[in-house]
Amino acid sequence: MPAQPDPSAAAPRILIVRIGAMGDVLHALPAVTALRRHLPGACIGWAIEPRWATLLAASTPEGAALVDRIHTVPVREWKAAPFSLATARSIRALRRELREARYDIAMDLQGTIRSSAVGWLAGAGIFAGSAHPRESIARLLYTLKVQIRQPHVVQQACEIAGAAIGASLAPGQPHLLPDPAAEAWCHALLATLPPTARLAVLSVGGGWGAKRWPPERYGALAAALSDSGYTPLIATAHADDQLALQAVTASHGSARMAVSNLPQLTALLRRAALCIGGDTGPVHLAAALGTPVVGIYGPTDPARNGPFTAHSRVLRSPQSLTSHSRIQQTESGLLSITVEDVIHSAMELFPSE
């Protein structure tokens, strides 16, 4: 029998394993918020890719930091040279770091072979994960296999975390802390816009092609939003992002690009009146910040991966079938969603206007 959680433990040491990506890390934060509020004295560590670590600068609504320690997992470096001596040394160093932290409980909120292996490296007495993880072989490393009953990944993370500590947890609302340098960048950007501008941030990307609404439609959407009194910004991490450039061109001068890193994007979305995009990290970041969002969904199921906020509208065609196949062509159901459909949903968020 696996070790069982001891809910009377005053200050357990807990490791969260949610390595990436942006939206998935954000979907794990409400469970960790609930965990921190339930066990305020716990030492909570998190294993995560370096590029997403700034998302962990977060607190509970009462101001308690969610995470005490961050363990970076350089997945990109490992994938680039999986059999190199440097990778072997990096994995050994991570194992040593995790073992030295002496975690009592580890929980895999990702459900992949890689994340379960990272959690296993910690050697915690309790290692919890879904009984039916995304990659089934991952469950072989768990000592506590949790039967998932809730539909949304945010709720599922709470089920795993709750089972690991022997408590019932409901999602909490994390507070993402502002970064002073990013706030200054955003202030300078806003100074170049009309002072009464209502910002509409559009996210044209997506993990793979099937999830991406065409950039030309984002351009037409930007033009329509501009006619409705919004200032559309196309959010991107790179100035040479071809999807963003195509959307800007198709907007015929209505939109401009906002090239930003993750803290800067957070600052921008904090001030936005609206965010529109597919199943992408920026949309989930906007939802976490309380910014109204419109999600344009195709092959991924919004019941599982949709924006976890009341301030949202989600569009998905009945033709769309749930699939995580990395197909590059835009899914046909997604193509049936029109610019007019998106504008109508956006206006539903602001019924008094």
- The pLDDT tens digits of the residues spanning 132-159 come to 999 999 999 999 999 999 999 999 999 9
Cα within 13 Å of Cα(319), Cβ side: 7
Peptide bond into 21 cis (omega under 30): yes
Q: In this structure, are residues 32 and 65 in contact, taking their beta carbons and an 8 Å threshold?
A: no
How far the first Cα of the chain sits from its last, in Å, is: 59
Statement: residue 188 has pLDDT above 60: yes
Given this model, what pLDDT does residue 8 score?
46
Domains 13-176 and 180-348 share a fold: yes
Q: Are strands 105-108 and 198-203 parallel, antiparallel or unpaired?
A: unpaired
Q: In this structure, are residues 331 and 298 in contact, taking their beta carbons and an 8 Å threshold?
A: yes
> SS3 for 292?
coil
Statement: residue 40 has pLDDT above 50: yes
Statement: residue 54 has pLDDT above 70: yes
Given this model, what pLDDT does residue 351 score?
66
Domain boundaries along the sequence of the chain = 13-176, 180-348
CATH number of 13-176: 3.40.50.2000
Given this model, what pLDDT does residue 350 score?
86
Q: Cα 25–29–31 angle (5° rounding)?
A: 125
Given this model, what pLDDT does residue 229 score?
93
pTM score, whole prediction: 0.94
**Mean pLDDT score across all residues of the chain:** 95
Given this model, what pLDDT does residue 261 score?
97
3.40.50.2000, 3.40.50.1370, 1.10.274.10, 3.40.50.300: CATH of 180-348: 3.40.50.2000
Confidence of residue 2 (pLDDT cuts 50, 70, 90): very low
Given this model, what pLDDT does residue 196 score?
77
Statement: residue 304 has pLDDT above 70: yes
Confidence of residue 10 (pLDDT cuts 50, 70, 90): low
Statement: residue 72 has pLDDT above 70: yes
Given this model, what pLDDT does residue 197 score?
79
